[in-house]
Structures are given as C-alpha cells and as structure tokens.
Amino acid sequence: MSPTILLDVVLLALVIIAGIAAIEVRNLFAAVMLASVYSLLMACFWTTMDAVDVAYTEAAVGAGISTILLIGALVLTGETEIVRRAVHWPALGACLLVGALLVYGTLDMPKFGDANAPAHVHPVYAGYTQQDVRKDPSGKSHGDIVATENADAQSRAEAHGETTSGRGDYFHGHVPNQVTSVIVTYRALDTLFETAVIFTAGMGLIVLLRGRRGNPLKGGLL
Amino acid sequence: MLAATSAFFGTDIPTLVAGIVLLFSILLMLVRAIAGPTVWDRILALNAIGTKSVLVVALLGFMTKRPEFLDIALVYAILNFLATIAILKYARTRRLG
C-alpha cells in the first residue's frame, strides 16, 4: 500500500467538506475563506499526486490571488447572499448529463500507470525520452553537434536492434534556447491549442464585459 | 496496532502519527472555519490551515524520501502570509488598496 494513500483519501474528504460548505454558507466572507481553504487542500493533494507545478499554480492562483480578488468583489458588493432556494431543474439535468458523459468518456482511458498506454508507446515518445535539450558546453558548431548526435542515435539504435533515420530528423536540442526547443518543437500542437483556448477565453470576456452596442464606454466594464 | 498500521501504509510510526494528527487538526480548523461565529475565527482558521498544509507538504517530502519538497512548503508559507495580510486589511478597513 502506498504511504500517501491515507493522506489522499483524507485530504479529498476534507476538500469535499470545504467545497460543499463554501457553496452552502450564506455569509459571503465565510464563503471566500472556505474557497481559499479548498484551494490550499487541493494544492496539498496535487503535491501528493506528484503534480508539483499544478500545486504551485493552485496555491498561487487559488489560495493567493483568487482570495484577494474575491475580497475585492466583497468590497464592491455586500457580505451576505440573498437567499434563493429554488432548484433550477433543467440546469441540474444539464449538469448531471454532462457529468455522466465525462465519466463515460473516462471508461475508454487506459488503466492508471499502465506502461502500455498509447501515450507511452507512441513513436514520438521514444524520441522525446531521448531528447537532449541543452546547449553544448564545448562550444562545437551546429553541424558537428548534429553529426555527433546522429552517430550516437545510430549506435544506440543498433544496440537495441532498431533502425533509425538519425536524430537530425527531430529538433533535438538544435534550437539555441531551451524554452523554445521544448515549447515550439516538442509541444508545438499543445502550445497552439493552449493559445487558442486563451484567445477564446479573452474574446468571451470582452464580449461579456463590454458595454452596449455603439457606445462601448458606457454600461460595461471595458 | 500502531506498528501494524504503519507497516500497512509503508511508513514509520512517527510519520504515521504526525500525518494522522495533522489531518485531524485540519479537520478541526475546517469545522471552526465553517461554524466560527466571528470573522476573526474564520481568518485564524484559514491561516492555521495554511500552516498545516505547509506541514503536510513537508511531511509528504519525508514520507516519499524526497526532502526537497521543503522548498514547496516554503513557497506555501509565503503565499499564506500574503493572503492573510490582504484579508486582515479588508477586515480592518473594509477596503483593499
């Protein structure tokens, strides 16, 4: 049994308690506090899942800046919520339907930690694990580095009984900047769609927050 | 019983006891944050949970034999301090900035 499993279960139980309480409590200041608690506990949970980068972001954005932004919203509005208890059945139905679809989608995913999952056996992955993203400390020329790497890959492939067309086919460390090398070569599609998502979110915000048609500076926040 | 439990989870007894105590104290703070009649109860509960989460991350580092998790714990401590300052400023003056 993994030593962190106890930590995981209890932390997630506490996260659920904090989340339900943040929704149910009518005092909005308490709701902000509970949302912050939720983020802190989620950050701990991400750390137990070895997703340290996500944990950093959760702690900085969720527990840090979100709390301050919500407090800023409290300054502009009031501290208690108007009670409105009616359940909106179509909305509840839509939420349950989408949730059920998402759960149904996860049924097709490979088992957790499966070494034969497509993400691990895809041909690109072999190149990714052998990548050598760094500047050459000896100050050799670009062509020398490519030639050396091609020879390295050739010998490695022969040792494993594989064939290779040479590492020069990929962008292995040939971009002078490490960040560019990772973002623009290995993760190019990833970055493209991330940018598309952020662009869409920005357009949505502008449409939501701008004022009336024809008089954009009145009646809106932008 | 403690020895059997610690063997089951694959940790040593002090780490197990520390983990259980930490999680239980987080639960107590959470109860105070939900119930707490005054604003100060809730601020104190939030700050204490932040401190406890720093300790949870540090403990996790030692459970998984990776003490470099202490760096992450330090970042959490700084963030916790900043959020508490902002909340206290709001509670005192009813505005930010």
Q: Tell me whether residue A195 is in a domain.
A: yes
The residue with tokens 């009670």 is A83
CB contact under 8 A, A14 and B53: no
C-alpha–C-alpha distance, residues B22 and B4, integer Å: 20
A156 and A194: one domain?
no
Q: Which amino acid is at A138?
A: S
C-alpha–C-alpha distance, residues B71 and A57, integer Å: 15
CB contact under 8 A, A75 and B95: yes
Which residues have C-beta within 8 Å of that of residue A121, sequence separation ≥ 6?
A: none
Which residues have C-beta within 8 Å of that of residue A18, sequence separation ≥ 6?
A: A34, A37, A38, A41, B30, B33
Query: How far is the alpha carbon of A13 from chain B, nearest alpha carbon, in Å?
Result: 10
Q: Tell me whether residue A51 is in a domain.
A: yes
Number of domains in chain A: 3
Domain residues for the domain of A207 are 187-222
A148 and A203: one domain?
no
Q: Tell me whether residue A119 is in a domain.
A: no
Domain residues for the domain of B14 are 2-93
Residue A170's pLDDT is: 46
Residue A94 has which token pair?
Answer: 């839509």
CB contact under 8 A, A56 and B75: yes
A19 and A61: one domain?
yes
Phi, psi of B10, deg, nearest 5: 70, 25
- Kindly report the length of chain B: 97
CB atoms inside a 10 Å sphere around CB A196: 10
Nearest to B79 among A21, A25, A63 (CB): A63
Q: Which of A6, A8, A66 to mutate to test the interface with B (most CBs of B within 10 A)?
A: A6
pLDDT in tens, A67-117: 888 888 888 887 777 777 678 899 999 999 999 999 999 888 888 777 787
A156 and A215: one domain?
no
Q: Which of B13, B23, B40 to mutate to test the interface with A (most CBs of A within 10 A)?
A: B23
CB contact under 8 A, A63 and B63: no
pLDDT in tens, B30-58: 999 998 788 889 999 999 999 999 999 89
C-alpha–C-alpha distance, residues A29 and A32, integer Å: 5
Number of domains in chain B: 1
ipTM of the complex: 0.89
Number of H helices, E strands in chain B: 4, 0
